Amino acid sequence: MSSIFEGQLVRLAVPDFERDTEIMVAWSRDSEYMRLSGSEPARMWWPAAEKNWLKEYMDEAYLFGIYRREDDRLIGTLDLEVDNWAVRNAWLGIGIGDRSCWGQGYGSEAMRLLLHYGFEELHLDRVTLNVFEYNTRGVHVYEKLGFKVEGRYPKWLLREGKRWDLIFMGITRSEWEQVCAESGSSF
Amino acid sequence: MIETPLFEGKRVRICEIDPEKTTAEEARWTVDLDVASYYRPNAPRPLAAFEIQKFYEGRKKDIESMQVLYFLLRRKADDQLIGFFRVRGIQISHRTAWFDLVIAEPEGQAEAEEEALRLALRYLFLEMNLDYVTMRLSETRFGMEERLKAAGFSLDVRQRGMVYRRGRTWDLLHYGLRRRSWMQKQGLEVEE
Protein backbone atom coordinates (compact mmCIF):
# COMPACT_ATOMS: atom_id res chain seq x y z
CA MET A 1 0.00 0.00 0.00
CA SER A 2 1.55 3.32 -1.03
CA SER A 3 1.38 6.20 1.37
CA ILE A 4 1.69 9.94 0.84
CA PHE A 5 3.96 9.91 3.88
CA GLU A 6 6.60 7.73 2.22
CA GLY A 7 9.41 8.93 -0.01
CA GLN A 8 12.53 7.29 -1.43
CA LEU A 9 14.71 8.15 1.55
CA VAL A 10 12.38 8.81 4.45
CA ARG A 11 8.93 8.21 5.79
CA LEU A 12 6.94 10.49 8.07
CA ALA A 13 5.16 8.99 11.05
CA VAL A 14 3.87 9.96 14.44
CA PRO A 15 6.92 9.67 16.72
CA ASP A 16 7.09 6.48 18.73
CA PHE A 17 7.45 8.10 22.14
CA GLU A 18 8.35 4.93 24.02
CA ARG A 19 11.08 3.96 21.58
CA ASP A 20 12.39 7.32 20.40
CA THR A 21 12.32 9.81 23.27
CA GLU A 22 15.92 9.01 24.28
CA ILE A 23 17.05 9.75 20.72
CA MET A 24 15.41 13.19 20.81
CA VAL A 25 16.89 13.93 24.22
CA ALA A 26 20.35 13.10 22.82
CA TRP A 27 19.85 15.70 20.07
CA SER A 28 19.31 18.40 22.69
CA ARG A 29 22.89 17.82 23.94
CA ASP A 30 24.15 19.04 20.55
CA SER A 31 24.37 22.82 20.96
CA GLU A 32 24.78 23.42 17.23
CA TYR A 33 21.52 21.62 16.57
CA MET A 34 19.78 23.51 19.36
CA ARG A 35 21.04 26.82 17.98
CA LEU A 36 19.61 25.95 14.59
CA SER A 37 16.29 24.89 16.11
CA GLY A 38 15.27 27.88 18.17
CA SER A 39 15.99 31.30 19.56
CA GLU A 40 15.76 30.33 23.24
CA PRO A 41 19.06 29.75 25.01
CA ALA A 42 20.22 26.21 24.15
CA ARG A 43 19.34 23.80 26.92
CA MET A 44 19.06 20.09 27.42
CA TRP A 45 15.86 18.14 27.79
CA TRP A 46 15.16 15.03 29.80
CA PRO A 47 12.92 12.14 28.68
CA ALA A 48 9.76 12.96 30.66
CA ALA A 49 9.88 16.66 29.72
CA GLU A 50 10.51 15.87 26.07
CA LYS A 51 7.63 13.39 25.97
CA ASN A 52 5.22 15.77 27.70
CA TRP A 53 6.18 18.67 25.48
CA LEU A 54 5.70 16.63 22.31
CA LYS A 55 2.36 15.25 23.45
CA GLU A 56 1.10 18.72 24.32
CA TYR A 57 2.42 20.15 21.07
CA MET A 58 0.52 17.46 19.15
CA ASP A 59 -2.71 19.11 20.34
CA GLU A 60 -1.74 22.22 18.42
CA ALA A 61 0.27 20.96 15.46
CA TYR A 62 0.62 18.21 12.88
CA LEU A 63 3.82 16.68 14.22
CA PHE A 64 5.79 13.95 12.48
CA GLY A 65 8.98 12.05 13.07
CA ILE A 66 11.30 11.68 10.08
CA TYR A 67 12.32 8.03 9.82
CA ARG A 68 15.16 7.00 7.53
CA ARG A 69 13.86 4.17 5.38
CA GLU A 70 17.05 2.13 5.18
CA ASP A 71 17.08 1.40 8.91
CA ASP A 72 13.80 2.93 10.16
CA ARG A 73 15.75 5.16 12.52
CA LEU A 74 14.34 8.47 13.75
CA ILE A 75 16.59 11.21 12.36
CA GLY A 76 14.50 14.36 12.89
CA THR A 77 11.07 15.89 13.36
CA LEU A 78 8.94 18.30 11.43
CA ASP A 79 5.58 19.90 11.97
CA LEU A 80 2.90 22.12 10.57
CA GLU A 81 1.00 24.45 12.86
CA VAL A 82 -2.04 26.06 11.29
CA ASP A 83 -2.40 29.54 12.78
CA ASN A 84 -5.28 30.82 10.75
CA TRP A 85 -7.87 28.72 8.91
CA ALA A 86 -9.40 31.81 7.27
CA VAL A 87 -6.26 32.30 5.20
CA ARG A 88 -5.23 28.66 5.47
CA ASN A 89 -1.70 29.41 6.60
CA ALA A 90 0.55 27.05 8.54
CA TRP A 91 3.99 27.52 10.08
CA LEU A 92 6.48 24.80 9.28
CA GLY A 93 9.26 23.69 11.59
CA ILE A 94 11.94 21.09 10.84
CA GLY A 95 14.97 19.75 12.64
CA ILE A 96 17.33 16.97 11.58
CA GLY A 97 18.73 16.00 14.96
CA ASP A 98 21.05 13.28 13.69
CA ARG A 99 23.97 15.29 12.37
CA SER A 100 25.31 12.33 10.32
CA CYS A 101 22.22 12.86 8.16
CA TRP A 102 22.84 16.56 7.42
CA GLY A 103 23.29 17.45 3.76
CA GLN A 104 22.07 14.03 2.54
CA GLY A 105 18.70 15.11 1.14
CA TYR A 106 16.60 13.63 3.97
CA GLY A 107 15.28 16.99 5.14
CA SER A 108 14.39 18.13 1.61
CA GLU A 109 12.43 15.00 0.91
CA ALA A 110 10.68 15.15 4.29
CA MET A 111 9.64 18.73 3.57
CA ARG A 112 8.32 17.80 0.12
CA LEU A 113 6.18 15.09 1.71
CA LEU A 114 4.89 17.51 4.34
CA LEU A 115 4.16 20.27 1.81
CA HIS A 116 2.29 17.77 -0.33
CA TYR A 117 0.22 16.80 2.72
CA GLY A 118 -0.36 20.45 3.62
CA PHE A 119 -1.43 21.64 0.20
CA GLU A 120 -3.18 18.52 -1.10
CA GLU A 121 -4.82 17.16 2.05
CA LEU A 122 -5.17 20.06 4.50
CA HIS A 123 -6.03 22.46 1.67
CA LEU A 124 -3.56 25.09 2.87
CA ASP A 125 -3.05 28.22 0.82
CA ARG A 126 0.37 29.09 2.13
CA VAL A 127 3.13 27.73 4.34
CA THR A 128 5.46 29.96 6.33
CA LEU A 129 8.74 29.45 8.11
CA ASN A 130 11.48 31.32 9.95
CA VAL A 131 15.17 30.63 9.58
CA PHE A 132 18.25 32.22 11.12
CA GLU A 133 20.69 33.95 8.80
CA TYR A 134 23.53 31.62 9.83
CA ASN A 135 21.57 28.55 8.74
CA THR A 136 22.72 28.92 5.13
CA ARG A 137 22.10 25.25 4.36
CA GLY A 138 18.50 25.63 5.48
CA VAL A 139 17.93 28.79 3.44
CA HIS A 140 19.31 27.01 0.36
CA VAL A 141 17.02 24.00 0.84
CA TYR A 142 13.92 26.17 1.39
CA GLU A 143 14.62 28.24 -1.72
CA LYS A 144 15.09 25.06 -3.76
CA LEU A 145 11.69 23.88 -2.54
CA GLY A 146 10.11 27.11 -3.80
CA PHE A 147 9.98 29.26 -0.65
CA LYS A 148 10.42 33.00 -1.20
CA VAL A 149 12.05 35.40 1.25
CA GLU A 150 9.32 37.76 2.51
CA GLY A 151 11.58 39.90 4.63
CA ARG A 152 13.89 39.81 7.61
CA TYR A 153 14.23 41.21 11.09
CA PRO A 154 17.70 42.75 10.84
CA LYS A 155 20.21 41.72 13.51
CA TRP A 156 17.45 40.12 15.56
CA LEU A 157 19.36 37.23 17.12
CA LEU A 158 22.34 37.77 19.42
CA ARG A 159 24.64 34.77 19.51
CA GLU A 160 28.36 34.41 20.18
CA GLY A 161 28.53 38.19 20.49
CA LYS A 162 27.22 38.77 16.99
CA ARG A 163 23.81 39.76 15.69
CA TRP A 164 22.07 37.77 12.95
CA ASP A 165 18.96 38.32 10.89
CA LEU A 166 15.74 36.39 11.36
CA ILE A 167 14.51 35.53 7.86
CA PHE A 168 10.81 35.06 7.04
CA MET A 169 10.01 32.77 4.11
CA GLY A 170 6.73 31.66 2.58
CA ILE A 171 5.36 29.56 -0.25
CA THR A 172 1.87 30.03 -1.66
CA ARG A 173 -0.31 27.36 -3.20
CA SER A 174 0.29 28.73 -6.72
CA GLU A 175 4.05 28.74 -6.17
CA TRP A 176 3.85 25.18 -4.92
CA GLU A 177 1.87 24.13 -7.97
CA GLN A 178 4.44 25.84 -10.20
CA VAL A 179 7.27 23.91 -8.50
CA CYS A 180 5.34 20.65 -9.00
CA ALA A 181 4.66 21.46 -12.67
CA GLU A 182 8.33 22.25 -13.30
CA SER A 183 9.52 19.08 -11.60
CA GLY A 184 6.82 17.01 -13.36
CA SER A 185 5.55 15.46 -10.18
CA SER A 186 2.85 15.93 -7.63
CA PHE A 187 5.56 16.67 -5.09
CA MET B 1 15.98 60.82 40.53
CA ILE B 2 14.17 59.88 37.36
CA GLU B 3 11.18 62.17 37.12
CA THR B 4 9.91 61.59 33.59
CA PRO B 5 6.62 59.72 33.98
CA LEU B 6 6.66 56.44 32.10
CA PHE B 7 2.92 55.86 31.91
CA GLU B 8 1.55 59.39 31.44
CA GLY B 9 1.20 61.39 28.27
CA LYS B 10 -0.67 64.63 27.71
CA ARG B 11 -3.89 62.99 26.57
CA VAL B 12 -3.33 59.27 27.12
CA ARG B 13 -2.15 57.18 30.01
CA ILE B 14 -1.06 53.58 30.18
CA CYS B 15 -2.87 51.69 32.95
CA GLU B 16 -3.18 48.22 34.38
CA ILE B 17 -5.43 45.50 33.04
CA ASP B 18 -8.31 44.69 35.33
CA PRO B 19 -10.28 41.71 34.02
CA GLU B 20 -12.76 42.00 36.91
CA LYS B 21 -13.87 45.44 35.76
CA THR B 22 -13.01 46.20 32.14
CA THR B 23 -14.15 43.17 30.17
CA ALA B 24 -17.54 44.62 29.19
CA GLU B 25 -15.88 47.67 27.67
CA GLU B 26 -13.30 45.57 25.89
CA ALA B 27 -15.99 43.22 24.58
CA ARG B 28 -17.80 46.21 23.09
CA TRP B 29 -14.76 46.94 20.89
CA THR B 30 -14.85 43.51 19.26
CA VAL B 31 -17.68 44.41 16.88
CA ASP B 32 -14.71 45.79 14.94
CA LEU B 33 -13.15 42.57 13.65
CA ASP B 34 -9.72 44.19 13.34
CA VAL B 35 -9.86 44.67 17.12
CA ALA B 36 -11.48 41.25 17.72
CA SER B 37 -8.55 39.59 15.94
CA TYR B 38 -6.27 40.66 18.82
CA TYR B 39 -8.40 38.60 21.20
CA ARG B 40 -9.24 35.80 18.81
CA PRO B 41 -6.84 35.69 15.83
CA ASN B 42 -8.29 32.62 14.18
CA ALA B 43 -11.66 33.50 12.60
CA PRO B 44 -12.40 36.60 14.72
CA ARG B 45 -15.95 37.39 15.85
CA PRO B 46 -17.55 39.73 18.38
CA LEU B 47 -16.89 38.46 21.89
CA ALA B 48 -18.85 38.52 25.12
CA ALA B 49 -17.44 39.96 28.35
CA PHE B 50 -16.97 36.48 29.84
CA GLU B 51 -14.93 35.51 26.79
CA ILE B 52 -12.61 38.47 27.33
CA GLN B 53 -12.25 37.31 30.93
CA LYS B 54 -11.39 33.82 29.66
CA PHE B 55 -8.85 35.40 27.30
CA TYR B 56 -7.02 36.92 30.27
CA GLU B 57 -7.42 33.81 32.43
CA GLY B 58 -5.81 31.72 29.67
CA ARG B 59 -2.79 34.01 29.77
CA LYS B 60 -2.64 34.48 33.54
CA LYS B 61 0.53 32.43 33.99
CA ASP B 62 2.37 34.28 31.21
CA ILE B 63 1.20 37.68 32.50
CA GLU B 64 2.23 36.94 36.08
CA SER B 65 5.64 35.61 35.04
CA MET B 66 6.12 38.60 32.71
CA GLN B 67 6.44 36.42 29.61
CA VAL B 68 4.04 39.01 28.18
CA LEU B 69 3.17 42.50 29.39
CA TYR B 70 -0.43 43.62 28.97
CA PHE B 71 -1.64 47.16 29.54
CA LEU B 72 -4.78 49.13 28.84
CA LEU B 73 -4.90 52.71 27.59
CA ARG B 74 -7.15 55.45 28.97
CA ARG B 75 -7.99 58.95 27.78
CA LYS B 76 -6.87 61.32 30.50
CA ALA B 77 -9.66 63.87 30.02
CA ASP B 78 -12.47 61.54 31.10
CA ASP B 79 -10.64 58.33 32.12
CA GLN B 80 -12.39 56.50 29.27
CA LEU B 81 -10.81 53.17 28.32
CA ILE B 82 -9.71 53.56 24.70
CA GLY B 83 -7.41 50.67 23.80
CA PHE B 84 -4.54 48.44 24.76
CA PHE B 85 -0.78 48.01 24.56
CA ARG B 86 0.71 44.53 24.76
CA VAL B 87 4.31 43.40 24.63
CA ARG B 88 4.72 39.87 23.38
CA GLY B 89 7.40 37.59 21.93
CA ILE B 90 9.86 38.92 24.50
CA GLN B 91 13.32 37.46 23.91
CA ILE B 92 15.42 38.70 26.80
CA SER B 93 18.63 37.07 25.56
CA HIS B 94 18.34 38.89 22.22
CA ARG B 95 16.71 42.07 23.62
CA THR B 96 13.85 41.89 21.12
CA ALA B 97 10.07 41.79 21.34
CA TRP B 98 7.00 42.62 19.34
CA PHE B 99 4.07 44.65 20.49
CA ASP B 100 0.45 45.45 19.74
CA LEU B 101 -1.02 48.89 20.08
CA VAL B 102 -4.69 49.42 19.35
CA ILE B 103 -6.90 52.43 19.93
CA ALA B 104 -10.36 50.96 19.66
CA GLU B 105 -12.42 54.10 20.36
CA PRO B 106 -12.87 56.09 17.13
CA GLU B 107 -13.07 59.53 18.76
CA GLY B 108 -9.64 61.18 18.63
CA GLN B 109 -8.13 57.93 17.42
CA ALA B 110 -5.28 59.37 15.35
CA GLU B 111 -3.98 61.66 18.12
CA ALA B 112 -4.35 58.94 20.73
CA GLU B 113 -2.47 56.43 18.56
CA GLU B 114 0.34 58.87 18.02
CA GLU B 115 0.76 59.63 21.70
CA ALA B 116 0.28 56.03 22.83
CA LEU B 117 2.96 54.97 20.35
CA ARG B 118 5.34 57.52 21.84
CA LEU B 119 4.66 56.20 25.34
CA ALA B 120 4.97 52.59 24.18
CA LEU B 121 8.36 53.20 22.55
CA ARG B 122 9.68 54.95 25.65
CA TYR B 123 8.61 51.92 27.68
CA LEU B 124 10.11 49.40 25.23
CA PHE B 125 13.44 51.15 24.79
CA LEU B 126 14.04 52.99 28.07
CA GLU B 127 12.37 50.65 30.55
CA MET B 128 12.67 47.21 28.94
CA ASN B 129 15.94 48.24 27.29
CA LEU B 130 15.10 46.37 24.11
CA ASP B 131 17.34 46.66 21.08
CA TYR B 132 14.81 45.99 18.33
CA VAL B 133 11.02 45.95 18.38
CA THR B 134 8.41 45.09 15.79
CA MET B 135 4.73 45.67 15.31
CA ARG B 136 2.80 43.23 13.14
CA LEU B 137 -0.31 44.65 11.57
CA SER B 138 -2.70 43.96 8.76
CA GLU B 139 -2.29 46.33 5.82
CA THR B 140 -5.92 47.31 6.48
CA ARG B 141 -4.69 49.48 9.39
CA PHE B 142 -3.65 52.35 7.10
CA GLY B 143 -3.53 55.04 9.80
CA MET B 144 -1.27 53.12 12.13
CA GLU B 145 1.05 52.29 9.27
CA GLU B 146 1.53 56.02 8.62
CA ARG B 147 2.22 56.66 12.28
CA LEU B 148 4.82 53.90 12.42
CA LYS B 149 6.62 55.36 9.40
CA ALA B 150 6.55 58.80 11.00
CA ALA B 151 8.06 57.35 14.18
CA GLY B 152 10.98 55.96 12.17
CA PHE B 153 9.89 52.33 11.69
CA SER B 154 10.84 50.47 8.52
CA LEU B 155 8.85 47.79 6.76
CA ASP B 156 10.99 44.70 7.41
CA VAL B 157 8.65 41.85 6.45
CA ARG B 158 5.61 41.60 4.20
CA GLN B 159 3.87 38.24 4.50
CA ARG B 160 1.66 37.78 1.49
CA GLY B 161 -2.01 37.04 2.01
CA MET B 162 -1.79 36.39 5.76
CA VAL B 163 -4.99 38.24 6.64
CA TYR B 164 -8.52 37.67 5.30
CA ARG B 165 -10.96 40.54 5.69
CA ARG B 166 -13.74 42.17 3.66
CA GLY B 167 -13.82 39.43 1.03
CA ARG B 168 -10.13 39.29 0.15
CA THR B 169 -6.68 38.56 1.50
CA TRP B 170 -4.30 41.27 2.69
CA ASP B 171 -0.65 41.21 3.58
CA LEU B 172 0.62 41.09 7.15
CA LEU B 173 3.19 43.83 7.63
CA HIS B 174 6.01 43.73 10.17
CA TYR B 175 7.38 47.16 10.98
CA GLY B 176 10.64 47.23 12.94
CA LEU B 177 12.54 49.88 14.86
CA ARG B 178 16.04 49.68 16.30
CA ARG B 179 16.85 51.34 19.62
CA ARG B 180 19.75 53.27 18.12
CA SER B 181 17.56 54.93 15.43
CA TRP B 182 14.89 55.76 18.00
CA MET B 183 17.42 57.25 20.45
CA GLN B 184 18.94 59.38 17.71
CA LYS B 185 15.50 60.60 16.62
CA GLN B 186 14.74 61.57 20.23
CA GLY B 187 18.05 63.43 20.52
CA LEU B 188 19.14 61.04 23.26
CA GLU B 189 22.72 60.00 23.72
CA VAL B 190 23.35 56.63 22.07
CA GLU B 191 25.41 54.35 24.27
CA GLU B 192 27.94 52.12 22.48
All structural domains of chain A: 10-183 (3.40.630.30)
A152 contact residues in B (CB cutoff 8 A)? 156-157
Residue A6's pLDDT band (boundaries 50, 70, 90)?
very high
Where residue B70 sits, what CATH number does that domain have?
A: 3.40.630.30
- The whole-number average pLDDT for the span A171-186 is 89
Cβ atoms within 10 Å of B136's Cβ, excluding its own: 17
B156 contact residues in A (CB cutoff 8 A)? 151-154
pLDDT value for B3: 80
Option in A84, A152, A155 nearest B157 (CB): A152
Cα dihedral sign, B36-B39-B43-B49: negative
Residue B192 within a domain = no
Cα distances from A147 to residues A133, A174, B28, B111, B170, in angstroms, run: 15, 11, 40, 40, 19
Residue B5 within a domain = no
Residue B191 within a domain = no
- Which residues in chain B land under pLDDT 50? none
Residue B87 pairs with which residues in a beta bridge?
Answer: B69, B99
Contact at 8 Å (CB) between A62 and A91? no
- State the residue range of the domain holding B137: 12-186
The verdict on a CB contact (< 8 Å) between B160 and A84 is no
Residue B2 within a domain = no
Residue B168 within a domain = yes
Option in B96, B157, B162 nearest A87 (CB): B162
Distance to chain B for A157, nearest Cα, Å:
5
A118-133: pLDDT as tens digits = 999 999 999 999 999 9
A156 contact residues in B (CB cutoff 8 A)? 94, 96, 132
Residue B3 within a domain = no
A158, closest residue in chain B (CA to CA): B94
In B18-115 the beta strands, taken as DSSP E runs, fall at 69-75, 81-91, 96-103
Cα distances from B157 to residues A130, A166, A177, B102, in angstroms, run: 11, 10, 24, 20
| Domain tally, chain B | 1
Residue B80 within a domain = yes
ipTM associated with this complex: 0.92
The verdict on a CB contact (< 8 Å) between B161 and A85 is no
